Amino acid sequence: MCNNVMVQIESARSRSLNDTRKRILDVAVEVLGQNPDAGMGDVAAAAGVVRRTVYGHFPTRSDLIRSLTQQAVNEVAAVLDEVNASDRAAETVWVDFIARLWPLAHRYRVLLALRRGEYGEEIHALLGPVDKTLADLVQKGQDSEVFGRHLPAQVLSQIAYAAVFAIADNNLSGENLSARAAAITSLLILGVPEARARALVDTQP
C-alpha cells in the first residue's frame, strides 16, 4: 500500500524528467542522422547537458539507439497504417502516404543512415513490419495493373520510398516544391506514367 504512494510520487517527478529525456531523444535524432558514429558525448553536448545525464536516461548507447529507432519507426508505421486503413486504390494510398511521410523523411533519415553498421540487424527487425506493409501495398498495385512489374514488389517498394528519403536529404532549398517532386518521382519509379502521376499528386492536397 505504501508502494502505491511511491509509484505516484515517481510518476509525479516526470515533468522535468520527460522534458530532458525528450530533448535528448530529439537532438540525438538530429546528431546521429548527420553522423551515425557520433558518441554519447556529442549527443549530450548538442542537447546542452552533461554526458552523465544522458546515461541517466539511457543506460547504454544501444538503449539510446533503440529508443530512437523505435520512435521513428512508430511514427512512420502510424502514418502508414492510418493511410492504409481505407480500401482506396494503391496509387491513391501511395500518394497519401508520401504526402504524410514527407515531413518526417528528412528528420528520420537516421533510419537509412543506421541500417548499415553495428545495429543494422536490430533496425532491420524493427523496420520489418513497415517494409512488409509497404511491399504488400506495392504488390496490390501491381496486381491491379497500376504499378509496373520491372522489379519485384519487395525491392520496388524499398527503392521507391528510399528515393523519397534521398530527395528529402538532397533538399537544400524549397521544401514545398520538393514534396511534390518526391511524390511524383516515387510514382515514376513505381511505373506510373508521368501524366497520371501529376494528376494524382495535384488532385489530392
Partner DNA sequence: ACATTATTGCACATCAGTGTGCAATAATGT
Partner DNA sequence: ACATTATTGCACACTGATGTGCAATAATGT
**What is the contact surface with DNA in residues (CB under 7 A)?**
6, 9-10, 12-13, 15-17, 19-21, 39-41, 48-50, 52-53, 55-57, 59-62
| ∠ Cα 26 31 184 (to 5°) | 80
**What minimum distance in Å lies between the beta carbon of 45 and DNA?**
11
To which residue does cell 528529402 refer? 168
Query: Which amino acid is located at 48 in the chain?
Result: G
Nearer to its own copies, 40 or 166 (CB): 166
d(CA 1, CA 141): 57
Among 13, 15, 52, 150, binds its own copies (CB under 8 A): 150
**Residue 77 binding partner per list DNA, its own copies, none, with a CB distance cut-off of 5 to 8 Å that depends on partner kind:** none
**Residue 203 binding partner per list its own copies, DNA, none, with a CB distance cut-off of 5 to 8 Å that depends on partner kind:** none
Residue 3 C-alpha cell reads as: 508502494
Instruction: Tell me if 146 contacts its own copies by CB under 8 A.
Output: no
**What minimum distance in Å lies between the beta carbon of 33 and its own copies?**
9
For residue 185, give every residue at least 6 positions away whose Cβ sits within 8 Å of its Cβ, in sequence order, or none.
Answer: 163, 164, 167
Report DSSP letters for 78-129, one per residue. Answer: HHHHHHHSS---HHHHHHHHHHHHHHHHTGGGHHHHHSSSSSHHHHHHHHHH
As a residue count, the chain comes to 205
Nearer to DNA, 51 or 198 (CB): 51
To which residue does cell 494510398 refer? 93
Instruction: Tell me if 176 contacts its own copies by CB under 8 A.
Output: no
**What minimum distance in Å lies between the beta carbon of 158 and its own copies?**
6
Instruction: Tell me if 40 contacts its own copies by CB under 8 A.
Output: no
Q: What is the dihedral of CA 186, 189, 191, 193, to 10 degrees?
A: 60
Binding part of the chain for its own copies, among 59-67, 82-90, 95-103, 160-168 by CB under 8 A, reads 160-168
The residues binding its own copies (CB under 8 A) are 34-37, 113, 116-118, 148, 150-151, 155, 158-159, 162-163, 166-167, 170-171, 178, 181, 184-185, 188-189, 191, 193-194
